[in-house]
């Protein structure tokens, strides 16, 4: 755990410092407390903050042991939900190695309203969470998981698309593409830990990750856009085809079909199935720890090389992709289908999501 604290917290007794450290503690980190300080303030970098000189505080670390032990139960679904309740997206870092070259595994937990369905605000929240991961030094892997029972993500919130203006659509679509791209281009292995439904954009986010581990549950996974009159974007269809096969992509995407975990596993859409969320979390972190044994730079450059051509096509296709989807979204037939789907889904459950 690393922190930058106001200089006044460093004076006197440990009370203010303990309060600041506790507020900054990240679940799953080790109990090494590092305060960054120098002999005088550096206004050009952090006004009223002291920086650089690592001071270990073993007594404070002992004080935090109880808090860390209590939070180890975050691997359970209920605890994950409680921890992230105040924030739709919770970011945590679990340390793999300590100084002088600290490395860690990042975890993003999604806890949005309505089954982790996405509107612009939710996408901005996920983008911000991903930015925290990108800014953290030494990240060797990412776990993307849900803290919402029964759902990894239900995808876009359907009402967002009902009578949407073009400018609003372009902003929403550009951000969704950006989040997918950054997640897929992360220079470290990533695992989607799926417990429940992963539909539309939820499936796309899982597909952006390198691996997909799922709980054996009634949840469905798939790209169901065609079911409400929307074409599957070329870049998303291509990713689905690469993970499964051309035959599976043609059969499933053209009908908007969703799959059970048992059916998705042999197709390659799911990589491994486990009995509980705890087992998924344990396996995901074990796999990322195993991957982190490889030299970091060589691993990152290899992943970049493997994704380079796909991402080049992704970038080049942006304008055509946006125009195509806008024509589909704005057509009267699609708007009628969206309105009917909203009514149908609302009568069955609170979530009205699809893509």
- State the pLDDT at residue 355: 60
Give the dihedral of Cα atoms 162, 164, 170, 174; nearest 10 deg. -40
Residues 156 and 95 in one domain: yes
What is the pTM for the complete model shown?
A: 0.75
Residues 97 and 50 in one domain: no
- State the pLDDT at residue 47: 34
Q: Which of 26, 42, 69 is the last residue of a domain?
A: 69
Lowest mean pLDDT segment, chosen from 29-38, 175-184, 291-300: 29-38
For residue 110, what are the domain limits? 76-348
Q: Establish if 204 belongs to a structural domain.
A: yes
Q: Establish if 325 belongs to a structural domain.
A: yes
Query: Higher model confidence: residue 72 or residue 97?
Result: 97
- Summarised one tens digit per residue, pLDDT across range 103-135 is 999 999 999 878 999 999 999 999 999 999 999
Residues 237 and 309 in one domain: yes
- State the pLDDT at residue 182: 98
Strands (DSSP E) along 248-334, which ranges? 259-260, 272-274
- Summarised one tens digit per residue, pLDDT across range 249-260 is 999 999 999 999
Query: Higher model confidence: residue 36 or residue 78?
Result: 78
User: Which of 9, 29, 27, 193 lies closest to 110, judged by CA?
Assistant: 193
- State the pLDDT at residue 77: 42
How many structural domains comprise the chain?
Answer: 2
User: Which of 201, 105, 119 lies closest to 152, judged by CA?
Assistant: 201
Q: Establish if 306 belongs to a structural domain.
A: yes
Residues 20 and 136 in one domain: no
First to last CA, the chain: 37
Q: Establish if 327 belongs to a structural domain.
A: yes
- State the pLDDT at residue 81: 43
Q: Which of 24, 44, 69 is the last residue of a domain?
A: 69
Q: Establish if 64 belongs to a structural domain.
A: yes
Q: Establish if 207 belongs to a structural domain.
A: yes
Residues 34 and 172 in one domain: no
Supply the DSSP string of 160-175, one letter for each residue: GGTT--HHHHHHHHHH
- Summarised one tens digit per residue, pLDDT across range 191-248 is 999 999 999 999 999 999 999 999 999 999 999 999 888 999 999 999 999 999 999 9
b vs e for 104-134, b when ≥16 Cβ sit within 10 Å of the residue's Cβ? bbbbbbbbbebbbbbbeebbebbbebbeebe
Q: Which of 69, 94, 118 is the last residue of a domain?
A: 69
């Amino acid at each position: 755990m690393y922190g930058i604290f106001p200089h006044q917290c460093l004076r006197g007794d440990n009370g203010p410092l303990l309060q600041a450290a506790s507020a900054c503690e990240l679940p799953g980190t080790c109990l090494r407390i590092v305060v960054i300080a120098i002999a005088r303030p550096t206004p050009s970098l952090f006004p009223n903050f002291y920086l650089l000189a690592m001071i270990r505080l073993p007594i404070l670390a002992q004080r935090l042991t109880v808090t860390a032990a209590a939070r180890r139960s975050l691997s359970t679904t209920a605890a994950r939900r409680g921890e992230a309740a105040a924030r739709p997206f919770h970011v945590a870092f679990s340390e793999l190695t300590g100084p002088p070259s600290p490395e860690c595994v990042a975890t993003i937990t999604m806890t949005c309203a309505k089954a982790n369905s996405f509107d612009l605000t939710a996408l901005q929240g996920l983008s911000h969470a991903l930015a925290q991961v990108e800014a953290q030094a030494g990240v060797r892997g990412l776990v993307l998981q849900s803290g919402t029972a029964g759902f990894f993500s239900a995808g876009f919130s359907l009402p967002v698309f009902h009578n949407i203006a073009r400018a609003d659509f372009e902003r929403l679509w550009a951000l969704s593409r950006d989040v997918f791209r950054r997640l897929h281009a992360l220079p470290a292995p990533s695992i989607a830990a799926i417990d429940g439904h992963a539909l539309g954009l939820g499936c796309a986010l899982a597909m952006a990750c390198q691996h997909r581990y799922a709980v054996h549950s009634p949840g469905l996974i798939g790209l169901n856009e065609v079911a409400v009159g929307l074409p599957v974007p070329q870049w998303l269809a291509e990713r689905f085809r690469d993970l499964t096969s051309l035959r599976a992509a043609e059969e499933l995407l053209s009908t908007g079909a969703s799959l059970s975990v048992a059916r998705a596993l042999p197709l390659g859409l799911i990589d491994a199935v486990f009995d509980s969320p705890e087992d998924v979390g344990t396996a995901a972190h074990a796999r990322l720890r195993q991957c982190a044994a490889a030299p970091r730079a060589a691993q990152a450059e290899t992943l970049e090389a493997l994704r380079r051509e796909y991402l080049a096509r992704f970038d080049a296709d942006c304008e055509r992709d946006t125009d195509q989807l806008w024509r589909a979204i704005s057509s009267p037939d699609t708007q009628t289908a969206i309105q009917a789907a909203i009514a149908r889904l609302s009568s069955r459950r609170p979530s009205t999501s699809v893509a």
